[in-house]
Amino acid sequence: MHRKIRKAVIPAAGFGTRMLPATKSIPKELLTIVDRPILDYIVAEAFASGIEHVVIVTGRMKSAIEDHFDHAFELDVSLRKGGKHAVADRLAKDTPGVGAVSFVRQQEARGLGHAIWSARHIVGDEPFAVLLPDMLMVAGEPCLKSMTGIYDRNGGNVIAVEKCRPEDAHKFGIVSLKPTGNGPLVNGLVEKPAPGTAPTNFFISGRYILQPEIFALLENQEPGAGGEIQLTDALVSLMGMQEIRPFEFAGQTFDCGSPAGFVGANLHMAMQRADIAEAIGHQIDALSMLARPGMGSKAA
């Protein structure tokens, strides 16, 4: 019997430079997909996957994140006074229970690995999940829930991977895999391989289940790419000690930390909403008649 995955770490202390100027004073993680902050979707995925305690790593200029997960007493009173009970009930339902979310500060944005290490005392000596809050992963069953299924059967570590076009492999962290009698294991990780050299076209996506030994590796990890403490470097060391299984995610992923992914996520999620899908559809139809920058003429 493997120890249950009870805790999830959500690193949210980065600068979000790809989304400037929006992220100059608003945390990237609170930018909205339709009318819900991105982080709300990620926290909801964690709880829907059986997580009991979410640890959000924040930093300077990110205190709005803590307020978002608090009970907004005055707002609740005001909404109910105005008869808006359905809205107040929805807000209450979406607010995690007392003690279910903790916050820890990463005093310096020294990289994803360092952000995860900042949560070590709250996680303690047990396996845990990591969800990257800018990766919105949409599927019938939440990505992390599918991963906990693999973990429950095998233990060890699990990372979500996705297939990219071979010609795009140089943009991602790519895994190599070795077959075993019990499914493939990750046996190599290479960040942004030179074009044509990638061992597979499976890239590491935004969800992980990790054993607590990763913390000691992160503690001693030298800065890697970009001068930052990288999770992938620590995973390479972990691979020599423990099994890492891939979970191939087959849903849709939006990198909401980039303008194109962010807009794509908004369109996708809006089209899933019965109350606005039709209106958005009309707007998309109207837009498709317009010229796009750089195309010179009207799109067909």
The residues binding ligand UTP (CB under 6 A) are 11-18, 28, 57, 106, 109-112, 114-115, 132-134, 257
Using Cβ positions, the residue closest to ligand UTP within the complex turns out to be 14
Do 261 and 16 form a contact (C-beta atoms < 8 A)?
no
Question: Least distance (Å) from ligand UTP to the CB of residue 169?
Answer: 19
Q: Which pairing describes strands 244-248 and 157-163: parallel, antiparallel, or unpaired?
A: parallel
Considering beta carbons, is residue 11 or 37 the nearer one to ligand UTP? 11
Question: Least distance (Å) from ligand UTP to the CB of residue 221?
Answer: 13
Question: Least distance (Å) from ligand UTP to the CB of residue 27?
Answer: 8
Q: Which residues, including other chains, have CB under 8 Å from residue 294's CB and lie 6 or more apart? A: none
Considering beta carbons, is residue 118 or 266 the nearer one to ligand UTP? 118
Read off the amino acid at residue 236. V
For 87-105, letters b (16+ CB in 10 Å) and e give ebeeeeeebbeeeebebbe
DSSP states of 109-145: ---HHHHHHTTHHHH-SS-EEEE-TTEEEE-SS-HHH
Considering beta carbons, is residue 26 or 280 the nearer one to ligand UTP? 26
Question: Least distance (Å) from ligand UTP to the CB of residue 117?
Answer: 10
Q: How far apart are the C-alpha atoms of 268 and 55, rounded to whole Å?
A: 28
Return phi, psi of residue 178, to 5°: -120, 135
Question: Least distance (Å) from ligand UTP to the CB of residue 20?
Answer: 8
Question: Least distance (Å) from ligand UTP to the CB of residue 8?
Answer: 13
Considering beta carbons, is residue 79 or 136 the nearer one to ligand UTP? 136
| Number of Cα atoms under 13 Å in the Cβ half of residue 31 | 26
For residue 219, what are its two tokens? 């503690």
Question: Least distance (Å) from ligand UTP to the CB of residue 195?
Answer: 22
Q: How far apart are the C-alpha atoms of 197 and 138, rounded to whole Å?
A: 30
How many Å is the Cα radius of gyration of the chain? 20
Considering beta carbons, is residue 173 or 246 the nearer one to ligand UTP? 173
Burial class (CB in 10 A: 0-12, 13-18, 19+), 199: middle
Considering beta carbons, is residue 79 or 115 the nearer one to ligand UTP? 115
